[in-house]
Structures are given as C-alpha cells and as structure tokens.
Amino acid sequence: MKVISATAQSIPKTPSVVTIGTFDGVHIGHQKIIRKLTKKAAEHHLISVVLTFFPHPRMVLQQNANIKLLNTIAERKEILSALGLDFIYIQEFTKAFAEMSARDFVKTVLVDKLKVKHVIIGYDHHFGKNRSANIDDLRAFGTEFGFEVEEISAQDVDDVAVSSTKIRTALNSGDIVTATAFLGYDYYINGTVVRGKGFGKKMEFPTANISVDASYKLIPKNGVYVISSLVQNKTIYGMMNIGMNPTFHGDKKTIEAHFFDFYQDLYGQDLRINFLDRLRDERKFESVDALIAQLRQDRTHAQHFIAQRNA
C-alpha cells in the first residue's frame, strides 16, 4: 500500500477504482465503502484508491471554524492503510483547489493522475467549485471520460446509522461506548509525554502528562477514563484525567495518564492512548485526601472493567 500526495510523482500506473471523501474517523460506514472498493478492484483487476483531503475543507474555507477532527492526517493514513487498499491519495485542500471546476477536478485528478475506471461514491456527494456538481454530473463526466459511477444508496449508508458528526458529539459528551461502536475501534489520541507538576506522584498516582501536538485533534470531554497503551509491545492499562485539576487550582487543561503496576520512565516518549470507558466527571475535592480516596475508588472500578473486558 502506498500513500501519495498530490505533488508526488509515484502515481498509479494501473487503472483504478476510486472513492472520495474526507473519511474523518474512518468509521464503520467508511469501512463499508472501502470494502466495496477493494472487492470491486479485485473483481475487475483494478487498483483500489482512496482520494482524501487535508486540511479539512472547513479549515480552509471557514477561517473561524474551530473544527475538531477524529483523526490527525497521520492517524487517518494509519487506519486506512490497515484496510487492504493499494493507494491513499492525499489531495492538499487549498483555496485554489476549492476554485477548481468539477470538470477540471475530474479530468486532472481522477482521469489523468489516478487513471480512474470506476468511482464508488456516497449518495449525497457534491464536488467542484462551491460543491456545485453532484452524482448526475459525475455520471456525465464518466460517459465523457470513460469511467463508471456506482452510487452507495441512502439505505446502505443509513443502515449503518453513523456519521463523523455523531461520533464527535458522542466524544464531546464523554460517551465512549457509542463512539467505539460507531468507529469499530477504540478512539485514541497520540501524544508526547512531558513533565508536569508532579502532583500525582505525591499522591501515590504518578502520571504521564500527554501533550497532543495537533491542535485540531478532538479531545473527549473532561473527566476520568479507563485507558490502554502499548509500551515496548506490551499492553498496559490505566486511567486518565482530562481537565483543569480544580483541586489544585489548575489554570490550564491537562491530559494525565496513570498506568497500573507500571514504573518505567516515559518522559519524551510518544504514546498512543486508547479510550476504553468513562468513569466520571472531573470535580473539585475539599481536600487532597478526599481526592486520593476517590482515585483509589476509580482504580478499583477501572481494574474491574478491564478484567471484564479481557475475560
């Protein structure tokens, strides 16, 4: 599987079947489309290509849009790469690209670069300048340029009853169970372990403070979560607090992970943190002792959840 950008020279040399979209989250609805794509490619001896965009169009076209995405572009590539695709083509989304006419997009990108012979597209897909073209236009271009268009029906998509927006809404409300069901995998963040203020260590709960570089990455609702991570090819479990540390009068949001029965120094390491469940809201305690008592209770609940999950 190759990942190529719009400026790359290593473009497919074999005719392709293509699907197009931002694919934020690469959720179970997206996965259904990609299964259709790879099946069609195998049946017709074509290569399978996902054409996706970065930055997200709303980041470019709506200057004040504070959109948060389910995946960074690196995460999106990682998830897509595991689905059996031949190519992922990343088109840089710029204001100039947004001005490209639908016909120019089809001719320049789909036909000339990707050698498209078949397009699989969602029933409500719009494209081209001002999103003015629809699937009927795409079919007309297909007749002109020699490719077929397969529409994914509203029923097929609605049967899954999932969208990136619904997943964002679930995560923003702390509903990890719904997000996991819609994604088909545990939601996760990637970040670097940085030094914090050391409060956790003083309370018998040392934490790894996680710094997420991508400002557009969606961080779930403040609160305490059950988590897992992979360190030196070993899965470790723990709990994580997202929030302001109100008991310590914190003045900025932090992400702090405590791993159970784990004592290695993680400073400077890059970690992937998987969200498994949510334990509770963050709140201010009347004393440090009261916070410690709650953390012990959280640990018990988290370990019970993990034991049931792994049973």
What does the CA dihedral 83, 85, 89, 90 come to, rounded to 10 degrees? 10
Contacts of 174 (CB under 8 A, 6+ apart): 220, 221, 223, 278, 281
Q: How far is CA 289 from CA 68, 177, 217, 285, in A?
A: 36, 31, 34, 9
- The residues that are catalytic are 256
**Distance, CA of 180 to CA of 275 (rounded, Å):** 9
> How many CB atoms neighbour CB 113 within 10 A?
19
**Distance, CA of 97 to CA of 216 (rounded, Å):** 21
Of 96, 100, 50, 99, give the one whose Cα is nearest residue 76.
Answer: 50
Q: 3-state class of 100 per DSSP?
A: coil
Q: Which residue has the tokens 């690469």?
A: 26
Q: 3-state class of 259 per DSSP?
A: strand
Instruction: Give exposure, 208-234, as e/b (b: 16+ Cβ within 10 Å).
Output: bbbebebeebbebbbbbbbbbbeeeee
